[in-house]
Amino acid sequence: MSVIEVQEVTKRFGDFTAIDQITLDFAEGEIHAICGENGAGKSTFMNMLFGLLQPTEGQILLHGKPVDFHSPKEAIHSGIGMVHQHFKLVPSLTVFENVLLGEEMTQSLKIDRQREKESVQATIDNFGFDLDAGDKIEAISVGAQQRAEIIKMLHRNVDILILDEPTAVLTPQETDELLDKLIELKNLGKTIIIITHKLDEVKKCADRVTVIRRGKKIGTVYNQDVTEKDISRMMVGRDVSLDFDKKPCTCGDLVLQLNNVTATSKLGKKVLEGIDLEVKQGEIVGIAGIEGNGQAELMELFSGTRKLTDGEMIYKGKKINCCDPAALRKMGFGLVPEDRYRDALNATMSIWENMIAGRHKDYCKLCFFDDKVIRQVTKELIEEYDIRNCDNIDALVSTLSGGNAQKIIMAREISCNPDIMIMSQPTRGVDIGSIEFIHQRIIQLRDEGKAVIVISSELTEIMNLSDRIYVMHKGKIVGERETSQTNKEDIGLLMAGINHQANREVAFSYGT
Amino acid sequence: MEQLLSILHTTLRMTTPIALAALGGLYAHRAGVLNVALEGMMLASAFFGVITSFATGNIFLALFVGILASVVLGFVFSFFGITLKGNLTIVGLAINTLVAGASSFILQVVFGQRGTFANQKIVGLKELDIPILRNIPILGDIFNKHTPIVYLSLLVLVVVHFILYHTKLGVYIRTVGEKEDAAVSVGLPVNKLRYISVLIGSVLCGLAGINIALENVTMFVENMTGGRGFIALAAIYSGRGTAIGTYVFSLLFGFADAMQIRMQNIKIPGAFIQMIPYLSIIVVLSVIGLLNKRSRRVSDDV
C-alpha cells in the first residue's frame, strides 16, 4: 500500500524546469532510494514532499488524500520528517532541547527540563539509539549529531523519514551502523526515503530505487533486480565505470618528500605532527582520513599558504621552505583545492577570467590581455575537458554546476603542465559522469609520469585511484599501505584512529 | 565612607539607563540582530517624554508616549533591517542620526529653544523613600531614594534572565540567533521572533530614556543619552550575551559614570573627567577581547 503518491508533479523556477512531470509512489514500510546525479532535482523533489517548496503543477497524495504543505511544520504534523544533509541543530543546546525545539513541554510558563529530558531519553532508548539526551550538540560527534536529528523526527511520531545524503559526513563504520539502523526502523513499519548517489549504500539497504535525471524520472526498479552498474547507467544515461584497469605503477624519481613536518595553528595547537610522506613520478598517492584531521592544513602547506614549524619539505632534491604560492606554482605545483569557490575560483568573475587565473602574464600583449588568444585557449580547454553549459564564456563561473566548475579548475591546472599535481576532494559535489572523467584524467596524469597526491575523505575514490595510501588522524599519519595489499575495512579503521595491525588501540573518537 | 556610599548610590542611578538598554538589546543580540538603534530609541523616548510631561504634566502619559516613540522606531528599524534585510548598522545609524537631528529641530522650531529645554512645567519622576530601606544602614544609603524605574530595572534583570533561559520564547530567540536553519526547519517564525526581540528592546529603551530625562534633571538636552546605547552594546558583548553578565558590566560602566560626576569638582579640566566612562569601556573591551582570545585557545586545544 502506498503512503505517498506523487502525481505528475512539476516544479519550475522561472524558465527552468527542475522537476518535470514526476509520478512516483512510496510504499508503506519500504526503504526507497532516490538516485541521481548532482543537479538532477533530487533535493528539489524532496523539499516539495517536506513543504519547503510547492509544486508548480501536479499533486501529492498522502494516504490517498491530496496534501498541500506550506511549511515543514505541516509536513511533520502529517508524519513526514526530514533529516537534512547539513544538520539543523543548535550547537549550544542539548540533544533534548534540539529534539523538542518548537514543541517544548512547559509548566505554566517555565520549560520543564527534567520532564523533557526523560521523555527524549525514553524515545532514544525505545529505538535503541546510542545517544545521551543531556549532551550538548557541540560536544558530540557528527555521527551522534545525525542520530539526534533522526530522533528529533522520530520523537515527533513521523512514519515517513526522508534522509538527504545522510552518509556524506560519516565514517565507513558509522555509515554501516546507520544503514543497519534504517533497516531496523523499516522493520518497525517506518517508510524511509533516502537520497544518495552512493550506489553501494543503495544496494545495501534499499528495497526500491528511483532514478532521476535532469528532472525527469528515468524509472523505479526493485533493488534485487539490478546491479550497481545498472543504476549508474540509468543515472548517467550510458555505461559508467569507476573501476579502471590501471597499468601497474612505474615509479620514477622522488618528486616531493616531507620529513617530520609539523605545523602549529596560530593558537599554538599542533595541526600537523611528524608527517613523513613521499611521492614519486608516475605515482598516485592517496591521503585518506575523516575530514578535519589535518588534511586541510596539509593542503595549505602544499599551496604555500601555511608555514611549517618543524621538519622539511624536499622537492626534486632541493629543500623548499618558502611560503609563496606563486613561487611554488612556478616550480611545477598544480593545485586543486578542496573548496572550489573559496580557493580556486572567483565566483563573481567570468569563465574565461577563471580559466587564465594565475597565469595572466602568459596571455598579455603589451600589458593588455590578448583577447583573441584567451578566448581560443578557453574554448579549446572547454572542448577538451567536456565542460558543459559553457557556450558563453563571458558568463559567471558560478552559473556552472559543481562538476563543470571542477573541470574548469582541472583544465586550468593540468594545462599549466605541472610536475606534481595535488588535489583535495577532487570529486566533491561532482556527478558520477564527471567523476569518471576526472578520475580518468588523474590516471592519465600519472601515466604521463607526473607525481599525483589525492586527498579525499571518499574511501572508494582513494581505493580506486591510489597506488599507495596514507591515512591521517588527528594531524598525524597513522598508517601507510600499498593499495593492492589493503581493503576498505582496514583503511576505515585507520581513519577512525584504530591501528589494529599495530595492535594499538587509539581512543575511538572523531576529531571535531 | 559617606563619599563612597554616595558614589555607589549614583552608580545605581547611572547604571539604570545603561542596564535597561543593554537588557533590552540583549534579546536582539541573541536573536542575531545587531541593534545599533538603541541610542536613537532612548533619545526619542527622552525627548517625547519631556515634551509630553511639559504639555500635560502627567508623568504616566509621558512614560507612555516615550515608550511609544521608542517602539515606533523599533518597528522602523525592524522593517528596514529584518523585513527588507537592509544593513543593520546603516539602518541603526540612520535612526540615531534622525532622532538627534529631529529632536534639536523640533525643539528650535516649536519651542524656540536651542540645545536645552527646561521648564518648570515639566514633571519629573519622584524618588521613592522606602520606609524599611531608610532605616537600614549602608544598604539604605545605596538603595533608597531612587526613581521607580531604578527598582524596575532590577526586576527587569530577573525577568529577562528567566525569559531567556526558562521559556519557549527565550529558547526560540537563541535558536534564531545561533542557527537560523534549525528554527526554519521546525517552522519557527524567524522574522516574527526577531521583531519581538527588537521591540522588547524598544520598550526597555523607552524606560531608559524617560529615566535619563525625567529623574534628576527634568529637562531635555541635545544628545543627552551621550552614547549610552553604544555603551549598552559594549555591556552586552562584555557580558557574553548573558543577562547577569550584561548587568554586571552595566554596573561597571555606571560606576565609571558616577566617578566622572563625582570628580567634576577636582581641578582637572572637565573634558578629561568626562572621558572616564568612555575610556573605561575601551579598557574593558580590550581586556574582554584578550580573555576571549585566551579562552578560545584553551577550548581549541581540547
Q: What is the pLDDT of residues A120-158, one digit of tens each?
A: 999 999 888 889 999 999 888 888 899 999 999 999 889
Homologous superfamily in CATH for domain A2-236: P-loop containing nucleotide triphosphate hydrolases (3.40.50.300)
Q: Which residue of B has its CA nearest to A100?
A: B186
Provide, rounded to the nearest whole percent, the portion of chain A with pLDDT above 90: 30
Provide the pLDDT confidence category of residue A506 given band limits of 50, 70 and 90: very low
The A-side interface with B (CB below 8 A) comprises 71-74, 76, 82, 84, 86, 88-93, 97-98, 101-104, 106, 109-111, 265, 267-269
The pLDDT value given to residue A84: 86
Tens of pLDDT, residues A426-467: 887 777 778 888 999 999 999 999 999 999 988 888 988 999
CB atoms B186 and A72 under 8 Å: yes
CB atoms A74 and B168 under 8 Å: no
CB atoms B178 and A76 under 8 Å: no
SS (H, E, C) B103-143: HHHHHHHHHCCCCEEECCCCCCCCCECCHHHHHCCCHHHHH
Q: Cα separation of B23 and A414, whole Å?
A: 58
Nine-digit cell at A360? Answer: 595572466
The pLDDT value given to residue A96: 94
The pLDDT value given to residue A45: 87
Nine-digit cell at A431? Answer: 556527478
The closest CB to that of B181, out of A88, A109, A111, belongs to A88
CB atoms B297 and A268 under 8 Å: yes
Whole-angstrom Cα Rg for chain A: 25
Q: Cα separation of A355 and A410, whole Å?
A: 10
Residue A510 has pLDDT above 50, yes or no: no
CA atoms within 13 A of residue A351's CA, in its CB half-sphere: 26
Q: Which residue of B has its CA nearest to A52?
A: B185
Q: How far is A265 from chain B (nearest CA, A)?
A: 10
Tens of pLDDT, residues A365-399: 888 888 888 999 999 999 888 887 777 888 888 87
Q: How far is A53 from chain B (nearest CA, A)?
A: 12
Residue A351 has pLDDT above 80, yes or no: yes
CB atoms A104 and B300 under 8 Å: no
Q: Cα separation of A119 and A96, whole Å?
A: 8
Q: Cα separation of A499 and A478, whole Å?
A: 7
CB atoms A90 and B178 under 8 Å: yes
Domain span at B57: 2-118+146-292
Of chain B, the end-to-end C-alpha distance in Å amounts to: 48
Closest CA to A310 of A264, A256, A268, A261: A261
Which of the two residues, B31 and A292, has the higher pLDDT score? B31
Q: Cα separation of B263 and B266, whole Å?
A: 5
The pLDDT value given to residue B297: 55
The pLDDT value given to residue A38: 67
CB B116 within 8 A of CB B220: yes
CB atoms A73 and B186 under 8 Å: yes
The pLDDT value given to residue A14: 78
Span A245-272, mean pLDDT? 83
CB B91 within 8 A of CB B83: no
Query: CA A88 from chain center: how many Å?
Result: 18
Q: How far is B166 from chain A (nearest CA, A)?
A: 5
Tens of pLDDT, residues B159-175: 999 999 999 999 999 99
Domain count, chain B: 1
CB B46 within 8 A of CB B225: yes
Q: Where in chain A is the domain with CATH 3.40.50.300?
A: 2-236, 254-342+418-511
Contact list, B166 vs chain A (CB under 8 Å): 109-111
* pLDDT per residue rounded down to tens, chain B (302 residues): 778 888 898 999 999 999 999 999 999 999 999 999 999 999 999 999 999 999 998 999 999 999 999 999 999 999 999 999 999 999 999 999 999 999 999 999 988 888 888 888 888 888 888 888 788 878 888 888 888 899 999 999 999 999 999 999 999 999 999 999 899 888 889 999 999 999 999 999 999 999 999 887 788 988 888 889 999 999 998 888 899 999 999 999 999 988 888 887 777 787 888 888 888 888 888 888 888 777 665 544 43
Provide the pLDDT confidence category of residue A505 given band limits of 50, 70 and 90: very low
For every residue of A150-165, DSSP letters joined together read: HHHHHHTT-SEEEEES
> For the purposes of burial, counting CB atoms within 10 Å of the CB of A196, is it exposed (0-12), middle (13-18) or buried (19 or more)?
buried
Tell which of A76, A80, A101, A269 to mutate to test the B interface (max B CBs under 10 Å). Answer: A101
Query: CA A295 from chain center: how many Å?
Result: 15
The pLDDT value given to residue A507: 39
The pLDDT value given to residue B302: 35
Judged by average pLDDT, the poorest of A168-177, A472-481, B218-227 is A168-177
Give the number of residues written for chain B.
Answer: 302
Classify residue B129: in a domain, yes or no.
no
- The CATH architecture to which A254-342+418-511 belongs is 3-Layer(aba) Sandwich (3.40)
Q: Which residue of A has its CA nearest to B296?
A: A267
Span A348-356, mean pLDDT? 90
CA dihedral A51, A53, A58, A60 (to 10 degrees): -20
Q: Which residue of A has its CA nearest to B162?
A: A110
CB atoms B297 and A267 under 8 Å: yes
Tens of pLDDT, residues B251-272: 999 999 888 888 877 777 878 8
Q: How far is B153 from chain A (nearest CA, A)?
A: 21
Q: Which residue of A has its CA nearest to B179?
A: A90
The pLDDT value given to residue A500: 60
How many of the other CB atoms lie within 10 Å of CB of B143?
18
How many of the other CB atoms lie within 10 Å of CB of A172?
18
The pLDDT value given to residue A503: 42
Q: Cα separation of A305 and A338, whole Å?
A: 14
CB A195 within 8 A of CB A164: yes
* Phi, psi dihedrals of residue B54, rounded to the nearest 5°: -65, -45
Q: How far is B210 from chain A (nearest CA, A)?
A: 30
Residue A501 has pLDDT above 60, yes or no: no
The closest CB to that of B187, out of A72, A93, A111, belongs to A72
Contact list, A163 vs chain B (CB under 8 Å): none
ipTM of model: 0.82
Nearest 5°: CA angle at B181, between B180 and B182? 90
Contact list, A98 vs chain B (CB under 8 Å): 182
Residue A306 has pLDDT above 90, yes or no: no
CB atoms B171 and A71 under 8 Å: no
A110 pairs with which residues across the strands?
A107
Tens of pLDDT, residues A238-254: 777 667 777 777 788 89
The pLDDT value given to residue B247: 94
The pLDDT value given to residue B119: 85
The closest CB to that of B187, out of A89, A98, A102, belongs to A102
The pLDDT value given to residue A227: 86
The closest CB to that of B185, out of A74, A84, A267, belongs to A84
The closest CB to that of B188, out of A76, A102, A110, belongs to A102
For every residue of A310-362, DSSP letters joined together read: EEEEEETTEEE----HHHHHHHTEEEE-SSIIIII--TTSBHHHHHTTT-GGG
A505 pairs with which residues across the strands?
A498
CB B164 within 8 A of CB B30: yes
Task: Indicate the DSSP class of residue B233.
Answer: H
Tell which of B185, B240, B301 to mutate to test the A interface (max A CBs under 10 Å). Answer: B185
Q: Cα separation of A390 and A395, whole Å?
A: 8
Q: Which CATH number goes with the domain that contains B155? A: 1.10.3470
Q: How many CB pairs under 8 A join A and B?
A: 70
CB atoms B186 and A74 under 8 Å: no
CB A400 within 8 A of CB A389: yes
Residue A511 has pLDDT above 50, yes or no: no
Which of the two residues, A182 and A214, has the higher pLDDT score? A182
